[in-house]
Structure 1
Amino acid sequence: MKLPQPSQLTRRKFVASATTVAATAGVWSELPAQESNSPNEKINLICVGTANRAAADVDGVKSQNIIAFCDVDSRYLDVALSKHKDARGYADYREMIDTESSKADGIVVATADHNHAPATMRAINAGLHCYCEKPLTHTVQEARMIAEAAKKKGVVTQMGTQIHAGDNYRRVVEIIRSGAIGDVTDVHVWVGKVWGGGELPEKGETPPANLNWDLWLGPAPVRPYAAGRYHPASWRRWWAFGQGTLGDMGCHYMDLPFWALDLRHPTSCEAEGPEVHPETCPEGLIVKYQFPQRQGHVGQLPPVSLTWYDGKKVPREVAGEKVPNSGVMFVGSKGHLFSTYGSYKLFPRDKFSNFQAPEQSIPNSIGHHAEWIKACKDGSPTTCNFDYSGALTETVLLGNVAYRVGKKIQWDAKTLTSPNCPEAAQYISKEYRAGWEVNPAV
């Protein structure tokens, strides 16, 4: 076995120190990545997942040395290995992490949601810097555990909300913070995608030879394979593996108001939708979060109500304006701002016809993956580190908790409990199959 290079050990120690200082100074989500002190030095990475969304993540880090891949589908794995001739292949990410962590600097996790936390926590415990797809975890408790473990271990982290690196989100944040639309007390966020509905297959099938079904299930309870019902994409509609449309898209769209309004933890949450199904997520959902008064980047900010809509529940009109199938609407005391991923509009139109955007204060990103790679090398901050994205993920997933218990829940973020709804605990955390537990290192 190849021993870790001294330069790798030195870099890990440096980055751990630098990230601790950055977190203490409270600069996680604002400082831009700077030019690398060693731009030609490549880091060693291992990747969990190789196809679909994972393929895009692999492409985002291919400038570095990818030394190993893991995929439960041998067809996908073979394609990745054919493009990276020197990389080693694994079916079980536990084996890959345990075997390769002494040689690797970081890991990219891009699996179905239920495997995010087990893979990421194992990597954190091994001292690896972590890039993990959204939502960061499958449960609220996992998000808190992962964020705390990463901070304690001093590893560099980034959640895969790639649109956060786009110019439009940055300009919207600047406008909101400038006070152009006044005090924002109401935000509406909606996505017309549908990940829900369906019933359990009547009978199971033999998995194809290329798929290790037991490893795909990972921490989830054992169930029979059924072609086209879970792998490779439909898992998002099942509670055992995903969190529906809210889990899929919430971290992308709610990221914008979280960033612009300095949100963190709601004080209450309630949801409405169709009758709760024990196995599959709803085809349409409305979730209402209440956030308290808080200290923001531009001073004291008023309480905010944030409403999420998805699937068959998306609105056609928001704040008096006709809207497309997805977007974010900030409602302020002096006007409204509507944003998509790539553009924004201010209302009323006549009032803002000659609007001059504030001077740019948030630097353009060098790229979402590039931020993380650079931070792994020199300890510079990332904008979607697990402290920020962990709180975002907690909030997103709390909406499904409220929906599944069928009542408004008061939320104590410090203890991850609902004082008025103890039954929420069953959806805040979950049990794992033996060998797949999510436990931080002591």
Structure 2
Amino acid sequence: MQLTRRHFLTSSGSLALASLAPGRPLRRPRRDKVRLGVVGVWNRGRSNLEGVLGEEVVALCDVDRRHLGQGAEVVAQRTDGSRTPLLFKDYRRMLDCPEVLDAVVVSTADHTHASVAAAALRRGLHVYCEKPLAHSPGEIRLLQGLAREKGLVTQMGTQIHAGDNYRRVVELIRSGAIGEVQYAQVWVSKGWADGRFGQTKPAPAHLDWDLWQGPATERPYCDGLHPANWRRFWDYGTGTLGDMACHLMDVVHWALELGQPVRVMSEGPAWHPVGTPNWMRAHFVHRVPKTGGGQRDLVVHWADSGASGDYAQQGFPSGIRFVGTTGSLVCHYGNYLLEPAEKFAQFEAPEPSIPRSVGHYREWLGGITEGTPTTCNFDYSGDLACTIVLGNVAYRVGEAYDGPEPYPYLKRTGRKTEWRGEIEWDAATGSTGQAAADALLLREYREGWEL
């Protein structure tokens, strides 16, 4: 149905359209600018909003009226009041009129990423979506398929990918500076864990709790979920692994050209049905080319929160380590170190060969206006994100464990494994071949929120 301006405004679920006085015509954006709708405009969403303000921000959407107002103020301040975006609390109403949009930025809680992004892609809109792209492997694969089918420009919000340091690390690994990589370790000291539902109460007036829940199972409101702490809950977030691994494991996938794994093992404290664990180790097994022909296994080892000390070293409380046949490379977002130091004292790095990024947001916007490639498109970033959330699937289908450590060559701290799960993964079919694990590949969607 072709929507009229009147239908668009009255059915939009808009909160405060004071800037659109009755009878005022809807201002069409300049066509040399990308027309954007931004869904989720505070916390991480504010940074993403500010990153695209050089374009024409046509609409803002947030289920929290306070955040929506704050986002509108950001637009007004940064544009000297020259722009007055439409304001929505329901992204579905915003997308009801796709002819006024070219693209959508998604910065909502993990559990609603796929709902917003899929709806936008189906309407032919380009999409920038925060990491970890979606809540489950099945959702991620759906978004990958839609982006390919529609031929749209996509980018996942792994902003570190645009930095120079990761480029130098990739060049070093691919040049053979440390020989053939045997395995990689990735660790982060922060943690999102132990979510527990508190005493129920009425939702605050500024929050549309029904819309915030989106596709998740309906439940009464309680404190400790919105904003940000939803990451600690299986229903809404993906824990520390989902929050941080896309940034840190990115350089491993990039340097080693990894796709999706063939096997995943996750371990940690005893499983809880509501909250994510307060530490986790995960082991992602990939099949990679073998020198001389054939293939071999290469394992990427993850440790977070209380287990991060397994891999951490001085100067790198969080980081990445590539272990090769002739040396190691340790890095973080802005620095790297070749080891052993005496071996690399006179080492000269190869000349830079990977072009400098024009900027993470600019890549995506340039892809829309100029057809240039994006480096974190859903093909690449989707495989990375799918790998990571498979770590959560493996953990959730685990069982109590009191046996030997699976990788004895790894250093261990006092964090003893109490729970361990392991899955096989067939990327071609999108299945683990295990009923309990396959049941977690897509959630049960609330009526009216189906993908």
TM-score band, normalised by shorter chain: 0.7 to 0.9
CA contact (8 A) 2:303 2:311 kept: no
Letter in 2 for 1:206: P
Letter in 2 for 1:437: E
Distance in 2 between residues matched to 1:183 and 1:105, nearest whole Å: 44
- Alignment-derived partner of residue 92 in structure 2: 94
Distance in 2 between residues matched to 1:294 and 1:119, nearest whole Å: 37
CA contact (8 A) 2:258 2:288 kept: no
Matched ranges for 1:76-87 at <5 A? 76-82=67-73, 83-84=75-76, 85-87=83-85
Distance in 1 between residues matched to 2:147 and 2:195, nearest whole Å: 37
Q: CA deviation at 1:185?
A: 1.6
Distance in 2 between residues matched to 1:375 and 1:301, nearest whole Å: 35
Q: Does 2:429 correspond to 1:415?
A: yes
Letter in 1 for 2:250: D
Give the alignment partner of residue 220 of structure 1, picking from 216, 222, 246: 216
Letter in 2 for 1:435: G
233-242 or 285-294: bigger deviation: 285-294
299-308 or 252-261: bigger deviation: 299-308
Q: Does 2:121 correspond to 1:108?
A: no
Q: CA deviation at 1:425?
A: 1.1
Could you say if the C-alpha distance between residues 354 and 281 of structure 1 is closer, same or farther in structure 2, counting changes exceeding 3 Å? same
Q: CA deviation at 1:293?
A: 2.2
Distance in 1 between residues matched to 2:172 and 2:297, nearest whole Å: 19
Q: CA deviation at 1:408?
A: 1.8
**Unmatched runs of 5 consecutive residues or more in structure 1:** 3-38
Q: CA deviation at 1:47?
A: 0.4
Q: Does 2:298 correspond to 1:304?
A: yes
Matched ranges for 1:285-364 at <5 A? 285-294=280-289, 302-317=296-311, 322=314, 324-364=316-356
Q: Does 2:384 correspond to 1:392?
A: yes
Q: CA deviation at 1:41?
A: 2.0
CA contact (8 A) 1:193 1:245 kept: yes
Give the alignment partner of residue 364 of structure 2, picking from 362, 368, 372: 372
- Alignment-derived partner of residue 414 in structure 2: none
CA contact (8 A) 2:36 2:101 kept: yes
Q: CA deviation at 1:303?
A: 2.9
Could you say if the C-alpha distance between residues 151 and 295 of structure 1 is closer, same or farther in structure 2, counting changes exceeding 3 Å? farther
SS at match of 1:398: helix
Structure of higher CA gyration radius: 2
Q: How many corresponding residue pairs? A: 395
Q: CA deviation at 1:295?
A: 8.6
Q: CA deviation at 1:73?
A: 0.8
Give the alignment partner of residue 159 of structure 2, picking from 157, 162, 178: 162
Q: CA deviation at 1:286?
A: 0.3
- Alignment-derived partner of residue 434 in structure 1: 447
- Alignment-derived partner of residue 183 in structure 2: 186
RMSD: 1.9
Q: Does 2:55 correspond to 1:64?
A: yes
Distance in 2 between residues matched to 1:149 and 1:249, nearest whole Å: 25
CA contact (8 A) 2:136 2:389 kept: yes
Give the alignment partner of residue 55 of structure 1, picking from 46, 49, 57: 46
Q: CA deviation at 1:68?
A: 0.4
Distance in 2 between residues matched to 1:217 and 1:172, nearest whole Å: 40
SS at match of 1:94: helix
Letter in 1 for 2:95: I
- Alignment-derived partner of residue 274 in structure 1: 269
- Alignment-derived partner of residue 122 in structure 1: 119
Distance in 2 between residues matched to 1:316 and 1:404, nearest whole Å: 22
Distance in 1 between residues matched to 2:195 and 2:394, nearest whole Å: 21
**Unmatched runs of 5 consecutive residues or more in structure 2:** 6-29, 77-82, 399-420
- Alignment-derived partner of residue 260 in structure 2: 265
Q: CA deviation at 1:418?
A: 1.7
Letter in 1 for 2:269: P
CA contact (8 A) 1:45 1:65 kept: yes
SS at match of 1:293: strand
- Alignment-derived partner of residue 169 in structure 2: 172
SS at match of 2:395: helix
Higher relative contact order (CA 8 A, sep 6+): 1
Distance in 2 between residues matched to 1:411 and 1:117, nearest whole Å: 21
Q: Does 2:207 correspond to 1:211?
A: yes
Scaled by the length of structure 1, the TM-score of the pair is 0.86
Could you say if the C-alpha distance between residues 301 and 173 of structure 1 is closer, same or farther in structure 2, counting changes exceeding 3 Å? farther
Q: CA deviation at 1:267?
A: 1.1
What CA deviation, in whole Å up to 9, does each residue of 1:375-405 have, x standing for no partner? 1101111000000111111100000111111
